[in-house]
Amino acid sequence: KQLRDEPNRSPLVIAFLDKLNDTICSQEKQNELISRLLEILKIYIVPAYDRLLNILYEDLSNATTDHGVWKLPNGDKYYKLCLEYHTTTNMNPDEIHELGKKHVERIQNEMRNILKEKQIESWHDFRTTITNFEHDIEQKYENVEESRTKVLNDYQKMIEDIDNEMDKYFSSACRPATKCVVERIPQFKEATAVAAHYFPAALDGKTPGTFFVNLRDINEVVKFKMNTLAYHEAVPGHHFQRSVAQSLKHLPFFRRIISFTAYVEGWALYTEQLAAEKGFHKSWYSYLGYLDAQLFRSCRLVVDTGIHWKRWSREQAINYLIENTCLKKQKIITEVERYFVYPGQACSYMIGCQVILSLREKAQTVLGDKFDLKQFHDVVLLNGSLPLNMLEKIID
C-alpha cells in the first residue's frame, strides 16, 4: 500500500535516496534515477505484490483447521526430521514433550515459592500475580516521549554493568573487541517487529553489534523483565557469541557466519541462567522476570510437540499457554500461529540451553576441582556455531 500510495515514504525509496546523496552524480542524473526507480516500482514491483496477494487470497479457501504437520503425507516422519534439524539432537517428540512438562512444573513451583515467601496473597496463582506486577506503576515508565530515551539508557547501563564483571567468567579470547550499543528499532518497523533483537557488528567493523529495542508502546516495557532480555540479546548472550564467532580467523569464512539456532539461542538462554546463578539480579522482581522467560521457553517444548505430534487443536495450544504462562492473549495467538508454520524451530531454544548445561555439568563431574568455567566457555565459543551433537564430541 505504501509503495503504491506513498512511495517516497517507503524505506526502499528512502534508502535509495540516502545512497544517491553519497554519490557524485549531478542533480540532473539523480533526478533521472529517482524517476526511473518510481517507474520501476509502479510498473513492476507493485503489480507483482498484487499478484502475490491474489494468489494467497485464492489459496486461503484450501486451508484446513488441522494445523499440525501430522496431517501431511509422512507427517510424523517429517516432524521428527524437523526436530532433528532444528535441535541438532536425536531427541524424539515424546522426550521433548515430557522434558518441557517437567521444566514447566519445576519453574512454576519456584515462582510460587518466591511469591509465597514474599507473602503475596495470590502466590498460588502466578499468572494473575505476574500480570499484576506488569501493571504496577513501579514497573512502568511514564508514558512520555522522554521515557523512550530513558529505556535505551537503562538498557545500556545494564549491559555495561554486567560487562564489567565478565572477566571473572570469560577469558580474553571470548571478550568481544567492540562494545554492544542499544538503539531503538526504526519506527517504520515497529508495528510488526518483535520486542527486541540483536544485530551483529559488520565484518569490516564499521558498525557495532546492536541491541535493538521496540519502543512503539512504552507501556509494553516492564522493568522487572529488562535485565534478562539484556543478558540474552547482548551481554553475555548473542553479542558475545556472534562477535567471537566472527573473530575466529582460523575458521573458514562460512564457519564464522553460519548460525545453528539450537546453538545460538541455546547459548543465549544459557547466559540467562549464568547471570542468575552469579547474582546479577539485584531484586526478587528481576529474578522472577528471569523465571518468567524460562517458563515461556519450556512451554514451547510442550506446545510445539503437542501441535505437530500429539495432534493438539489450535484451542488446546492457546489454552495451554494461557494456563501455564503469563503472556497476553494476543501474544499467545501469535506464538501458536508461528509454531504452525515453523514446526520444531521453537524447541531449539530450550533444548540448546539444556544441552549446554548438561555438558557443563558433565565436565564438572569428570574434572572435579580442575573444572574451570572460563575454559568451558572457551570450548563452547571458540569453535564457532555448531550442531549440538558436534559440540558434545568436542567437549568430550
- pLDDT exceeding 70 applies to what percent of the chain? 100
- Is residue 123 pLDDT above 80, yes or no? no
Retrieve residue 161's grid coordinates: 554493568
State yes or no: pLDDT of 170 exceeds 80. Answer: yes
Q: Regarding predicted confidence, which is higher, 138 or 208? A: 208
Helix axes 314-324, 284-308, angle to 10 degrees: 160
Residue 21: pLDDT band (50, 70, 90) is confident
Q: What dihedral angle (degrees, nearest 10) is formed by the CA atoms of 40, 43, 47, 49?
A: 0
pLDDT, tens digit (0-9, with 9 covering 90-100), for 257-294? 999 999 999 999 999 999 999 999 999 999 999 999 99
For CA atoms 51, 55, 60, 66, give the dihedral sign. negative
Could you give the CA distance from residue 357 to residue 195 in angstroms, rounded to a whole number? 26
Q: If we measure between CA atoms, which residue out of 298, 389, 343 comes closest to residue 89?
A: 389
pLDDT higher at 13 or 169: 169
Per-residue model confidence (pLDDT) at position 124 = 77
Q: Which one is predicted more confidently, 347 or 27?
A: 347
Radius of gyration of the chain (CA): 23
Q: In whole angstroms, what is the distance from residue 396 CA to residue 391 CA? A: 9
Burial class (CB in 10 A: 0-12, 13-18, 19+), 19: exposed
Report whether pLDDT(180) > 90. Answer: yes
Q: Say what percent of the chain tops pLDDT 90.
A: 84
CA distance 112 to 288: 10
Report the candidate in 241, 17, 275, 267 with the shortest Cα–Cα distance to residue 166: 275
**Predicted local distance difference test score (pLDDT) of residue 275:** 99
Confidence category of residue 64, pLDDT binned at 50, 70, 90: confident
Q: In what order do the strands lie in the sheet with 196-199?
A: 181-184, 210-213, 196-199
What average pLDDT is seen over the chain? 95
Listed residue (332, 310, 293, 309) closest to 103, CA to CA: 293
pLDDT-based confidence at residue 137 (cuts at 50, 70, 90):
confident
Tell me the pLDDT band of 199, cut-offs 50, 70 and 90: very high
Quote the pTM value: 0.92
Q: What is the pLDDT of residue 61?
A: 87
C-alpha 48/C-alpha 40 separation (Å) is 11
User: 284-308 vs 93-117: helix axis angle to the nearest 10?
Assistant: 150
Give CA–CA dist 14/2, Å, rounded.
12
